[in-house]
Structures are given as C-alpha cells and as structure tokens.
Amino acid sequence: MPGNELLEIARSVAEEAGALAARLRREGVEVAATKSSPIDIVTAADRATEELIRRRLAELRPQDGFLGEESGAGSGTSGLTWVVDPIDGTVNYLYDLPNWSVSIAVVEGDPDPVTWTALAGAVHAPALGELFTASVGGGAYVGDRRLHVRDAVPLDRALVATGFHYTAAIRTNQAVVAQPLLGRVRDLRRAGGAAIDLAYVAAGRIDAYFEQGLNPWDQAAGALLVQEAGGIVQGIDGGAPTHRMTIAGQADVVAALRATLVELGA
C-alpha cells in the first residue's frame, strides 16, 4: 500500500539519520555558523544529517520534491514533498541535552502547512530512545504503541509546552504573554524542540503546545502525530497553523488556549 511504503521510508530514514546524528554527537559538537541571530546555530552534524537524508530520499523516491532546513528546496514531479528537519532542538543537541530529534514527513501539495496534506511522518529522538510515527488515517505510534492525546481538561488544569524565538525582541514579547498565562494554566514547560513537543502532545504527556515562528520542517511530522492521536493543530485564527502561531492539543483545550492567547495579545 503506498501509504505504508511512505511511512516505512520516513521511519527507516529517520532511524538511520538519528543514528548518524547520535554518533556525531558522541564525537563532539561545535557551532559551525549562526543564522537569524547569534543563538540560532547550525552545526556540521545538522548539515551532514540532512545530506544523508536527502541522498537516501533521492535514491528511494527520485520523483518527489524535498524541503530541508539546511539545504533548501528541490522540486519533484510526483506532487509529494519530503519536509525535513535533520536536527530539531539544535541548541539541546549542542549542550547534550536529550530533547532533540530528526523530523521527516512527506506531504502532498505545496510544501506549506496552511495548504498541505501530510501523508506520513517520523520523529526520531535517539537520546530519548524513542521513534514516533504516523500516517494519515493510520494512527500515531511510539514504537508499536498507539498514541492518544489526553482527555479534555479546563485550561487551569492543562500542562502547556511552549518555545521561545531566537530573536531577542520577539522573545521579550513572548515573555509578556507567558507572564499572565502562567496564572491561567497548570504550568508551562519549555523543552526546546518543537517536533518532540508535538510528539508529546500526541503521546498525552502534555495537554497542549503553542509556539510562534515555527517553520514547515519543525511541525510537518509532529502535527500529523497530533492529528492521528485525536488532537488538532491550529493557527491563532483557528485555521491552519502558520508561521505566526501553532497551537496543538485536544480540541477543547486548544479552543480555550487559543482564546486566552488572543486575549493576551500573542
């Protein structure tokens, strides 16, 4: 079945890429360059891992397009695009904190979260020893265990994860929203990797997650995990998630969180 073939490719390439990134991590990591700000970093391992993923996908799916954080876009002829973050949570990777992952998804349509349909995805977190997978209509899993988002809770009982932008001025505004939000939720968590935060929503380990400024590769696989675990992923206006805002969780919790974020000016 084509859906399963795509899932198997996402899983096996994420497994191989995660093993490479984990080996490079053990050999030692330095910052290779900075991007949007001095704390937005890339390491040689980000680049080497994306090269491996791009090469494998070109071998296995030569007709498909590619969109990766480090090497950009390449068009295909099949209408499918592989959306890849070789290392999501790069700052954790640099510091040898375990919350980093390889995120690989295949989407149909333009590689834009507003319009695409994600078909399959994998989030591999080697330092956590976990591989999350999902395919459209086929459910979300960690290993062979089926995932479900948590049941609805009032917002003041919800454990909510978020992340902060690499740009100082934007982070300062995020703090202005986080301050009153802390009084309206059970607590906030900030683990430093969007793909794992989304996988944890799918796994029912947190009630909800929101973040501003995500790129397509940060959320492609993770959003499919949430959807296939029975949750929803929205933008600030209740439509599809955009660069401006991504909110994920059980539907009622997302509705309450979204209304609160709007009220607080997020």
The DSSP secondary-structure symbol of 151 reads: P
Among 111, 193, 216, 231, binds ligand 2AM (CB under 6 A): 193
Binding mask 77-96 for Ca ion (x = CB under 5 A): --------x-xx-x------
User: Cβ of residue 166: shortest distance to ligand 2AM, in angstroms?
Assistant: 4
What is the end-to-end Cα distance of the chain in Å, rounded?
A: 42
User: Cβ of residue 77: shortest distance to ligand 2AM, in angstroms?
Assistant: 28
Q: How many residues bind ligand 2AM (CB under 6 A)?
A: 17
Footprint (CB under 6 A) of ligand 2AM, residues 144-163? 163
Among 18, 126, 213, 249, binds ligand 2AM (CB under 6 A): 213
Helix count (H) and strand count (E) of the chain?
A: 7, 15
> What values do phi and psi take at 181, rounded to 5?
-60, -35
**Residue 122 identity:** A
Decide if residue 222 touches ligand 2AM (CB under 6 A): no
Q: Where are the beta strands (DSSP E) in the chain?
A: 31-34, 41-43, 65-68, 72-74, 80-88, 101-108, 117-125, 130-135, 139-142, 145-146, 159-162, 187-189, 208-211, 232-234, 246-249
Among 70, 88, 207, 228, binds ligand 2AM (CB under 6 A): 88
Where on the chain is the footprint of ligand 2AM (CB under 6 A)?
36, 85, 88-90, 163-166, 192-194, 211, 213-215, 218
